[in-house]
């Protein structure tokens, strides 16, 4: 049979099959072996020889003995929109701020360039008039805040305050801050609040979105 196989390949100029498809040729030859007991013995021996290379190469060996596990199920997105990460509502700048449930401010500024929160003297005067006591600290070394503008003079602040409760009224509902610390701008009698960048990020405000919408 082997002679006939080789002769047929040579006549058809298909000798390359013996070199490039050797495994397939061996399987064809093995299946034609008779009797069946001899064919079974040859197939078993070939299988043993085929796995011999795995003993010296750990990676194919591991792939051969470890069963293939099913691929993990695809991540399910939002049931409503199908997105992998559902969009969460982000709070917009507060429309109203209430200090100690008493004093309201006339203006709220989200300052992404400020590292400290600042309240004006008007807020402190309103709390004093209502009889609300908050913890204030006087500092021998003042804190300087630099407003925008090349000719703007720095704001000198010598005391800081720690509020018990500050409520910000936003489109997502009220946000309550406990223990908010701020410097006091005693030069301004207005009732204003300047929220620093760290507090903005703590509250979940997106600085990038605010800058785009500015």
pLDDT tens column, 12-65: 666 665 566 666 666 766 677 777 787 787 677 767 666 665 555 545 555 555
Report the number of distinct structural domains present in the chain.
2
Q: Is the pTM of this model over 0.85?
A: no
Q: Are 89 and 65 in contact (CB under 8 A)?
A: no
The order of strands in the sheet holding 96-99 is: 103-104, 96-99, 165-170, 173-178
Nearest Cα to Cα of residue 191 among 147, 128, 113, 112 = 128
Do both 119 and 201 map to the same domain?
yes
Do both 100 and 196 map to the same domain?
yes
Do both 102 and 169 map to the same domain?
yes
Do both 126 and 37 map to the same domain?
no
Which pLDDT belongs to residue 185?
Answer: 92
Tell me the C-alpha distance between 13 and 6, whole Å: 10
Which pLDDT belongs to residue 103?
Answer: 84
Q: Is the peptide bond before 38 cis (omega within 30 degrees of 0)?
A: no
- The verdict on residue 117 lying in a domain is yes
Do both 102 and 205 map to the same domain?
yes
- The verdict on residue 137 lying in a domain is yes
State yes or no: pLDDT of 99 exceeds 80.
yes
- The verdict on residue 26 lying in a domain is yes
- Among 44, 65, 86, residue at a domain's last position: 65
Do both 101 and 50 map to the same domain?
no
Give the chain's mean pLDDT.
73
Q: What is the three-class DSSP state of 116?
A: coil
Do both 153 and 193 map to the same domain?
yes
Q: Which domain holds residue 45?
A: 2-65
Do both 189 and 146 map to the same domain?
yes
pLDDT-above-70 percentage for the chain = 56
Do both 209 and 164 map to the same domain?
yes
Q: What is the CATH number of the domain that holds 184?
A: 2.40.70
Other CB atoms within 10 A of residue 127 CB: 19
Other CB atoms within 10 A of residue 26 CB: 13
pLDDT-above-90 percentage for the chain = 13
Tell me the C-alpha distance between 196 and 49, whole Å: 73
DSSP state letters, 45-112: HHHHHHTGGGGG-HHHHHHHHSPPPPPPPPPP--TTT--SSPPPPPPPPPSEEEETTTEE-SEEEE-T
- The verdict on residue 88 lying in a domain is no
């Amino acid at each position: 049979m082997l002679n006939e196989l080789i002769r047929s390949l040579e006549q058809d100029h298909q000798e390359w099959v013996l070199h490039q498809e050797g495994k397939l040729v061996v399987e064809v030859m093995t299946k034609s072996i008779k009797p069946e007991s001899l064919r079974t013995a040859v197939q078993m021996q070939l299988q043993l020889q085929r796995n011999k290379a795995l003993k010296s190469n750990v990676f194919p060996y591991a792939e051969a003995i470890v069963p293939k596990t099913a691929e993990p199920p695809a991540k399910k997105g939002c049931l409503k929109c199908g997105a992998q990460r559902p969009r969460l509502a982000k709070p917009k700048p507060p429309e109203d701020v209430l200090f100690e449930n008493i004093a309201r401010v006339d203006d709220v500024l989200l300052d992404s360039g400020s590292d400290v929160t600042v309240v004006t003297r008007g807020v402190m005067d309103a709390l004093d008039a209502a009889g609300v006591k908050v913890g204030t600290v006087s500092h021998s070394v003042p804190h300087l805040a630099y407003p925008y503008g090349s000719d703007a003079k720095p704001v000198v602040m010598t005391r800081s305050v720690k509020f018990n409760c500050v409520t910000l009224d936003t489109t997502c509902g009220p946000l309550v801050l406990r223990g908010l610390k701020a410097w006091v701008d005693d030069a301004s009698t207005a009732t204003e609040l300047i929220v620093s960048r760290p507090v903005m990020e703590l509250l979940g405000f997106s600085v990038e979105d605010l800058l785009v919408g500015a």
